[in-house]
Amino acid sequence: MTMGKPLPHDAAPLHVTGQARYIDDIPLPADALHLAFGLSTIAHGEVTAMDLTAVRAAPGVVAVLSPEDFAEMPDCSPSVHDEPLLATGMVHYLGQPLFLVAADSHLAARRAARLAKMTYRELPALLTVDDALAANSRFEQGPVIWTKGDPAAAIAKAPHTVEGSFEVGGQEHFYLEGQVAACLPQEGGDVTILSSTQHPTEIQHKVAHALHLPMSSVRVEVRRMGGGFGGKESQGNALAIACAVVATRTGRPCKMRYDRDDDMMITGKRHDLRILYRAGFDDAGRVTGLEFTHLFRCGWAQDLSLPVADRAMLHADNCYHLPDIRIESHRLKTHTQSATAFRGFGGPQGMVGVERVMDHIAQMLGRDPLQVRRANFYRAAEVAGPVQTTPYHMAVEDFIGHELVAELERTSDYTKRRAEIAAWNATSPILKRGIALTPVKFGISFTLTHLNQAGALVHVYQDGSIQLNHGGTEMGQGLFQKVAQVVAGVFGVDAGAVKITATDTGKVPNTSATAASSGSDLNGMAARAAAETIRARLAAFLAEKHQTTPAKVRFADGLVTVAGETYDFARVANWAYQARVSLSSTGFYATPKIVWDRMRGTGRPFLYFAYGAAVTEVVIDTLTGENRILRADLLHDTGTSLNPALDIGQVEGAYVQGAGWLTTEELVWDAKGKLTTHAPSTYKIPACSDRPRIFNVALWGKPNREDTVGKSKAVGEPPFMLGISALMALSDAVAACGDGSTYPALDAPATAERVLAAIKRMRAHG
Amino acid sequence: MGKKMQVSLTVNGEVHEVLAEPRELLIHTLREKLGITGPHIGCETSHCGACTVDMNGRSVKACTVFVAQADGAEITTIEGLGGPDGLHVLQRMFREHHGLQCGYCTPGMITRAHRLLQENPQPTEEEVRFGMAGNLCRCTGYQNIVKAIMAAAAEMNAKEAAE
């Protein structure tokens, strides 16, 4: 079987030799133009005058477009029409594109863009959730509220109560390849777009809209991205539209690549938020009633903020059965970059909230937080009892948290290490260690139900070679290889025999973003369907030839066996071609079972859940707040893995990225709304030297209970939340600085500065 | 605009004469004038390491070296280490040990690892971690990158011992 093999990434030979091409590596015709935006330097106000004389006169500049040059300003928004390509009069954030420069080189365009003389009438900017709340500046009319049971009554009756407020920071994607797009004008006004995007169809749709063309006149191609992480779901629209507009006006190919600084100033990031919580619980730490308020800072445009904030609500329970719960979610509009999709899509924000509650309860009861977590787990799928439902009334039918956590507890030696750490801390006045085990339950499917579809196109050529195309995009996650393995499995050939081709809206239309971890679930099924259609035709053809039934034709090891005869796959393909059998097919898949009423917050938004758990051990320096991850043990559920090597890579990378979010990655805006951490010099993503000293990673390996491709489970996002254990381990280490009477209340990211401040709070009470 | 200068540099064994502005950066010369696109542009401020090349036996970030500084220099890029038909042991190990995902950092990462193993042929894991700290990867979490480098070092040393 080809499925399930730990094959390397399909493009690895190209990557290790520098031959893999990203958009910026593709040679463009000599007359190509390079574009750059001129950016606003205030967060909120009106542009009263725009003097672009020096920009136009700068060396190499070919064209400069300001809002006056557009009869109708193109829109870049993936949701509502609230993102003009260039600010039209009003400026909504510092870094917003105001005008567009086309020059004969990238640097000439960027240099020229700095020469504008802008005059503004500055207005007060709403920068924080408090500013936005006070001004009632929000998306939607008011907060979205879901209630199950009667949490207020449950909390009033509870033996113990806890409440708190928790700040959770945002996160810059820091895909190594910045945003980039190119446009090649075609005959008759058509355009071809090359875009580093997770969502080719969205690029096609937005470019067609901007140029007043039907979608059929716009073709978008994506061979690969140098990382996406959600940051290329909607944030590439502006570049593609800008290229298409200038290419159409000048008749010349155009390319736009954001310099890293511009990328960080212009594009959206993970949503930061404040979480308010109030819970009632019993002596065992079992939560009887819980109320959450999520205060999301969404930035200036709606973008994907509503579904992101929804997904946070959908993960406010994580692994815990909360019969009486109320979740109130505010989507606040501020004069900052438009927060957008980022791996987990709100799920991490929802989940870290309930993990904070568990941690806080454990401290109040003086218990191991793992006991408290376990006391609140959903009932195991095998154990009889009334159906337990999530806060959004979906029955939890596949809960494997008990067994998975028990296994990790054993393999990580959690209990013994926890005791050892306590003993060690008692003898160590300066350094303190901490440990935490946190679980993950993550819902798989797009919550916008119609997105749960995919198409594929498979060709078999007369020489037996196979070409595969589908709607998913490759950003490093290995999707192309996994889907190729599925198709190879159908034809009984090596994965290497399946030629993988660039995502192309001209081959497979109406694709969903490669997002929500759904890439292999959706595209794997669609590609399997296409391949099975062709295989069925080949089998029918051979069966007739050999007077047998199609079911008796076998495809394995590059050979086809029928009625005692064995042929090369290539020979069969050629015969079928000669016999005028169609060797090309589309395939389609729509996820079954899901129904979802977003406004009421009820239904079954997910086909299944993916699970995992992590143990992290940290050490902190109580004099400086500096900290290190000493050891991480991860156990993650990817069902029956389509490719365990790729899945382990996803789990490791996601954990490190998740831990980065909650520890070192700090976004800071100044009082004028300027993002001051707009380069890797000031924004700290994990480096090789930050890697845990001991890093044990394993896959759970049991098949998905739902009928997914090869019984596998989605892996892109769920393991990101394993990083929550790093924050909770830091909380545990900080707690060791006190006498147990005070909760560390560590905000995220738990930078050295925050850890030090928390230590000081602990000692003030100690 | 400054006066253009004549710069001579040897890249992957081949001598190139280029006319460049004094402020032109090595990464732009390599990518735009010489068509050598293995080294990538990541951050343009020498932090991410995607543009790492070898210059006169040292790892440099080509985004913060003027091409004028490279006059007379010997430059090796990922293309100079080995092609698809003849992979260097480091390239092979990055592939086999899954030391890459999106691949954007990979050319710089391998070029840096190659120099690291010249500087320190038998590094400990800790030395690899710190020796590679100037090259960022956002996908892998580094585990497989470190494994690949350790495996390459082991194979290179075994080969040397056998010779």
Q: How many domains does chain B have?
A: 2
For residue A417, how many other CB atoms are within 10 A of its CB?
Answer: 17
**CB atoms B137 and A176 under 8 Å:** yes
Q: Would you state the pLDDT for residue B85? A: 87
Interface residue B52 vs chain A (CB under 8 A): no
For the cut 70, the answer to whether the pLDDT of residue B1 exceeds it is: no
**Which one, of B66, B30, B33, B70, lies nearest residue B50 by Cα?**
B30
> Which residues of B are less than 8 Å from A632 in CB distance?
none
Q: Which of B44, B81, B138 sits opposite A176 (nearest CB)?
A: B138
Q: Which of B91, B98, B142 sits opposite A9 (nearest CB)?
A: B98
**CB atoms A691 and B78 under 8 Å:** no
Q: Is residue B18 part of a domain?
A: yes
Residue-wise pLDDT tens digits, A343-402: 999 999 999 999 999 999 999 999 999 999 999 999 998 899 999 999 999 999 999 999
Residue-wise pLDDT tens digits, B45-91: 999 999 999 999 999 999 999 999 999 999 999 999 999 889 999 99
Q: Is residue B44 part of a domain?
A: yes
Determine the Cα–Cα distance for residues A653 and A645; give it in Å rounded to an integer.
Answer: 12
With CA atoms as reference, the chain B residue closest to A60 would be B1
- Global model pTM greater than 0.80: yes
Cα B89 to Cα A196, A199, B84, B101: the distances in Å are 31, 36, 12, 19
Buried b / exposed e over A458-483, threshold 16 CB at 10 Å, is bbbeeebebbbbbbbbbbbbbbbbbb
Given B29, B51, B80, the domain boundary residue is B80
Residue B42 neighbours by CB under 8 Å, 6+ apart? A176, A177, A178, A260, B48, B49, B50, B51, B63, B104, B105, B108, B136
Check whether residue B101 and residue B129 sit in a common domain.
yes
- Catalytic residues of A, by residue number, are 717
Check whether residue B28 and residue B76 sit in a common domain.
yes
User: Three-state SS for A538?
Assistant: helix
Interface residue B61 vs chain A (CB under 8 A): no
User: Three-state SS for A276?
Assistant: strand
Angle at A89 between CA A84 and CA A93, to 5 degrees: 65
| Percentage of chain A lying above the pLDDT 90 cut | 98
User: Three-state SS for A220?
Assistant: strand
Residue A680 distance to chain B (closest CA, Å): 6
Residue-wise pLDDT tens digits, A437-472: 999 999 999 999 999 999 999 999 999 999 999 999
What residues 175-234 of chain A have any CB closer than 8 A to a CB of chain B? 175-178, 224-229
Determine the Cα–Cα distance for residues A745 and A493; give it in Å rounded to an integer.
Answer: 56
Residue B161 distance to chain A (closest CA, Å): 26
Check whether residue B72 and residue B49 sit in a common domain.
yes
Task: Please report, as a single letter, which amino acid is at residue A662.
Answer: L
For the cut 70, the answer to whether the pLDDT of residue A412 exceeds it is: yes
Q: Which of B44, B82, B83 sits opposite A260 (nearest CB)?
A: B44
**CB atoms A227 and B110 under 8 Å:** no
Q: Would you state the pLDDT for residue A270? A: 98
Interface residue A695 vs chain B (CB under 8 A): yes
Mean pLDDT over residues A101-121, rounded?
Answer: 97
> Which residues of A are less than 8 Å from B35 in CB distance?
27
Q: Which of A16, A226, A475 sits opposite B95 (nearest CB)?
A: A16
Residue-wise pLDDT tens digits, A246-277: 999 999 999 999 999 999 999 999 999 999 99
Residue-wise pLDDT tens digits, A574-621: 999 999 999 999 999 999 999 999 888 999 999 999 999 999 999 999
Give alpha helix (H) positions in A391-478. 401-411, 414-427
Q: What band does A1 get if pLDDT is binned at 50, 70 and 90? A: low
Q: Is residue B140 part of a domain?
A: yes
Q: For residue B42, what is the domain's CATH number?
A: 3.10.20.30
For the cut 60, the answer to whether the pLDDT of residue A713 exceeds it is: yes
Given B33, B54, B80, the domain boundary residue is B80
Q: For residue B137, what is the domain's CATH number?
A: 1.10.150.120
Q: Would you state the pLDDT for residue A599? A: 84
Q: Is residue B163 part of a domain?
A: no
Check whether residue B107 and residue B139 sit in a common domain.
yes
Burial of A677 (0-12, 13-18, 19+ CB in 10 A): middle
Q: Which of B28, B79, B141 sits opposite A17 (nearest CB)?
A: B79
Q: Would you state the pLDDT for residue A766? A: 53
Residue A411 distance to chain B (closest CA, Å): 19
Mean pLDDT over residues A658-677, rounded?
Answer: 98
Contact pairs from chain A to chain B, CB under 8 Å: 189
Burial of A147 (0-12, 13-18, 19+ CB in 10 A): middle
Check whether residue B71 and residue B95 sit in a common domain.
no
User: Three-state SS for A55?
Assistant: helix
Q: Is residue B149 part of a domain?
A: yes
Q: Is residue B54 part of a domain?
A: yes
Given B80, B104, B138, the domain boundary residue is B80
Interface residue B128 vs chain A (CB under 8 A): yes
Interface residue A687 vs chain B (CB under 8 A): yes
Average pLDDT along chain A = 97
Interface residue B27 vs chain A (CB under 8 A): no
Residue-wise pLDDT tens digits, A181-201: 999 999 999 999 999 999 999
For the cut 60, the answer to whether the pLDDT of residue B93 exceeds it is: yes
Residue-wise pLDDT tens digits, A138-159: 999 999 999 999 999 999 999 9
Determine the Cα–Cα distance for residues A223 and A475; give it in Å rounded to an integer.
Answer: 9
**Which one, of A462, A474, A320, A442, lies nearest residue A391 by Cα?**
A320
Q: What band does B163 get if pLDDT is binned at 50, 70 and 90? A: confident
Residue A431 distance to chain B (closest CA, Å): 21
Check whether residue B27 and residue B69 sit in a common domain.
yes
**CB atoms B44 and A261 under 8 Å:** yes
How does DSSP assign A652-696, residue by residue? HHHHHHHHHHHTT----B-TTS-BS--STTTS----GGGS-SEEE
**CB atoms A18 and B37 under 8 Å:** yes
Residue A663 distance to chain B (closest CA, Å): 15
> Which residues of A are less than 8 Å from B42 in CB distance?
176-178, 260
Residue A251 distance to chain B (closest CA, Å): 22
Check whether residue B104 and residue B139 sit in a common domain.
yes
Does ipTM top 0.90?
yes
Check whether residue B13 and residue B74 sit in a common domain.
yes
Residues in chain B: 163
Q: Which domains does chain A have, with CATH numbers?
A: 28-124+173-266 (3.90.1170.50), 273-447+597-765 (3.30.365.10), 453-590 (3.30.365.10)
Q: Is residue B29 part of a domain?
A: yes
**Residue to substitute from B93, B104, B128, interface A, most A β-carbons within 10 A:** B104
Residue ranges making up the domain that contains B35 = 5-80
Check whether residue B9 and residue B74 sit in a common domain.
yes
Residue-wise pLDDT tens digits, B103-138: 999 999 999 999 999 999 999 999 999 999 999 999
Check whether residue B43 and residue B98 sit in a common domain.
no
On whether the CB atoms of residues A689 and B124 are closer than 8 A, the answer is: no
Check whether residue B100 and residue B145 sit in a common domain.
yes
Check whether residue B103 and residue B126 sit in a common domain.
yes
Q: Is residue B127 part of a domain?
A: yes
